[in-house]
A and B are shown apart, each in its own frame.
Chain A
């Protein structure tokens, strides 16, 4: 009996030391995690712009419901702008599908993310067709286009190139800058994502912008 009690005491002291060490380790790990997640700025997967002025006006273009396209109507939302065309089977649906997936993954906050697809092929794409096309990817998407004078002006202000490309049988391709642009909730152009931005990176960046 006596022997047992004597051997218990050092065991308890050892246990206390172990608990203290373990406790200190937990504190250190939590502090390190907090320092990394709280202090480290988010790294965006696109080029971040520091534009002092609001995003260039899109007046002159029409929304798919036939009204004038006014960026002010998207205030409070993150507006993703993509220039493309409907008979584009690869690059455009890939981007629209990725944005639709990102929006779904964001859950209810995703409702404050909009995609605006501007068709640079007004000869073939009517406003009604553009609207039907974008909403087949996501109900929250908006389409727009305009005449060539208006498209040239808006595209130039956003640094977008577009031109008729290769003939594909009876149809033709339209070469176009395939970047995705993000206008923040205050209406400033904030991000240019490279063509083919993947869903995970887009979700992380959108969480930061919202």
Chain B
């Protein structure tokens, strides 16, 4: 399991949540599933999905089947799509700093990533 291109935006003043983006590639030979995620910068991290249907943006928690990863498959977490939602920021996310995040997979175990905090 490889996690790359992890990033998030600096938090606007007063923000209590943030979306974290990254690319997860299952380069193992076996089926896997993202079970959970956590970060010292967030009280809770939940996989979320923004869906734009008929121009309306709706956000919901990702279904378990959406976190299943076939061997060789890639999970792209990007704006207006799937992302890891950080609920309850423990402090402001400052431009140029890094957010530590741990992803827990059923087979691959814990993979930690460093999300760059930057304006994009």
Residue positions of A touching B, CB distance < 8 A: 86-91, 93-94, 97, 100-101, 129, 132-133, 136-137, 161, 165-166, 168-169, 171, 173, 175-179, 194-196
Contact = CB atoms under 8 A, between A and B. Distances in A.
Main secondary structure of the interface of B (DSSP, over half): strand
- The interface size bin for chain B is 20 to 34
Contact of B87 (A100, A136, A169): A169
B64 interface: no
Contacts of A173: 58-60
A129 B14 contact: yes
A170 to B, nearest CB: 8
Contacts of A89: 15, 17-19, 83, 85-86
Contact of A165 (B17, B58, B80): B58
Contacts, number: 100
B13 interface: yes
Interface of B: 9-10, 12-19, 44, 46, 48, 50, 52, 55-61, 79-80, 83, 85-88, 119-120
Contact of A97 (B17, B87, B119): B119
Q: Specify which of A89, A179, A195 lies most central, judged by the most chain B CB atoms within 10 Å of its CB.
A: A89
Question: Which secondary structure characterizes the binding site on chain A?
Answer: mixed
Contacts of A87: 15-17
B94 to A, nearest CB: 12
Contacts of A93: 9, 12, 19
Contact of A90 (B44, B79, B119): B79
B50 A90 contact: yes
A177 B58 CA distance: 9
A178 B59 contact: no
B17 A178 contact: no
Contacts of B57: 88, 90-91, 175-178, 195
Given A169-B87, A173-B58, A176-B57, A90 B19 contact: yes
A159 to B, nearest CB: 9
Nearest to A128: B14
21 contacts: A86-B12, A86-B15, A90-B80, A91-B52, A91-B59, A93-B12, A97-B9, A133-B14, A136-B10, A136-B13, A168-B48, A168-B85, A171-B16, A171-B87, A173-B59, A175-B57, A175-B58, A176-B57, A177-B55, A178-B80, A195-B52
Nearest to B49: A90
A194 B56 CA distance: 10
A165 B44 CA distance: 19
A137 B11 CA distance: 10
